[in-house]
């Protein structure tokens, strides 16, 4: 405990799943945590669970005006940032090439790539020297899963952004790394299924894609994010940390 005592963090996409689990872990480690999400009621409920060290701000990373308001609020509070976990993501799943629409393409790239890029850009004036930026990648960026071309391409783009940003931001004393979850049991993942029967089959199939034979708990991903956010990873930048149950390394 106490790895982030006295530090301030921002986590986007923190209403549920990996973002919420990470916010919980950061608070337990002593951080003041700003949490964002698009669904205000869900976000506020999550922040209430975490207590006074969590501050909820409704914000959509694909909306540049929202991002401006978010960082203005942090600055108006008199705070700077030591950790940015650019976790917000999503998009339209199961979009094979022959049925892909421009709207679905733009929606997914708008959240995952454009949203992440401008979240990081607009955070820069508030990030302290020695700060850590963590992006959420995906094991799908290393695998060819039918129907997930656009989504996996967005996560591959983030992988390259993290490498380039690591080079660009090192002179400012900032580190940039990517955490790469495998299949993780989150509301977002379960929401890909059309019904409970399909949900069970989908989760079983994803569990079977890992050598460990199960999906991850969001708290397990949060542990890895904490490592990248803290001084424990002080000599890491431009790296990908796979927390995928061996999915990519053993079952490529």
**Residue, of 186 and 102, whose pLDDT is higher:** 102
Same domain, 137 and 193: no
Whole-angstrom distance, CA of residue 164 vs CA of residue 222:
24
pLDDT of residue 100: 92
Contact in structure between 158 and 135 (CB atoms under 8 Å): yes
- Does residue 197 fall inside a structural domain? yes
Whole-angstrom distance, CA of residue 135 vs CA of residue 142:
16
pLDDT of residue 252: 63
Residue 167 has pLDDT above 70, yes or no: yes
Provide CB contacts within 8 A for 129, sequence distance 6+. Answer: 172, 173, 174
Catalytic residues: 151
Torsion sign (Cα): 87, 173, 223, 14:
negative
Same domain, 144 and 197: no
Parent domain of 130? 8-181+219-242
Same domain, 171 and 123: yes
pLDDT tens for 126-136 read: 999 999 999 99
Round the average pLDDT of the chain to a whole number and report it: 93
Residue 240 has pLDDT above 90, yes or no: yes
CB-based burial of residue 164 (10 Å sphere; 0-12 exposed, 13-18 middle, 19+ buried)?
exposed
Q: Which range (165-169, 192-196, 210-214, 230-234) has the least confidence?
A: 192-196
Same domain, 130 and 200: no
Task: Calculate mean pLDDT across residues 150-177.
Answer: 97
pLDDT tens for 48-96 read: 999 999 999 999 999 999 999 999 999 999 999 999 999 999 876 678 8
The CATH code of the domain that includes 135 is 3.40.50.720
Residue 173 tokens, joined: 């004393």
List the beta strands (DSSP E) in 59-151.
81-86, 127-136
Q: Which residues of 100-132 are buried (b: 16+ CB within 10 A; e: fewer)?
A: eeeebbebbbbbbbbbbbbbbebbbebbeeebb
Same domain, 141 and 206: no
pTM for the model? 0.94
């Amino acid at each position: 405990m106490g790895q982030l005592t006295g530090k301030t963090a921002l986590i986007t996409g923190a209403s549920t799943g990996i973002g919420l689990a990470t916010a919980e872990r950061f608070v337990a480690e002593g951080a003041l945590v700003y949490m964002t999400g698009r669904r205000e009621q869900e976000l506020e409920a999550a922040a209430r669970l975490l207590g006074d060290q969590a501050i909820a701000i409704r914000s959509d990373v694909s909306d540049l005006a929202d991002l401006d308001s978010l960082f203005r609020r942090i600055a108006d509070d008199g705070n700077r940032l030591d950790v940015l976990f650019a976790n917000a993501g999503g998009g339209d799943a199961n979009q094979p090439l022959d049925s892909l629409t421009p709207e679905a393409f733009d929606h997914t790239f708008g959240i995952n790539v454009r949203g992440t890029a401008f979240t990081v850009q607009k955070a820069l004036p508030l990030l302290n020297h020695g700060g850590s930026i963590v992006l959420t990648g995906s094991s799908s960026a290393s695998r060819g899963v039918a129907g997930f071309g656009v989504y996996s391409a967005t996560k591959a783009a983030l992988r390259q952004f993290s490498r380039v940003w690591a080079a660009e931001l090192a002179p400012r004393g900032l580190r940039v790394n990517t955490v790469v979850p495998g299949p993780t049991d989150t509301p977002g993942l379960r929401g890909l299924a059309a019904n409970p029967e399909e949900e069970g089959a989908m989760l079983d199939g994803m569990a079977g894609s890992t050598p460990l034979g199960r999906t991850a708990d969001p708290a397990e991903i949060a542990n890895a994010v904490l490592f990248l956010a803290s001084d424990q990873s002080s000599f890491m930048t431009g790296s990908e940390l796979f927390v995928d149950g061996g999915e990519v390394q053993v079952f490529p």
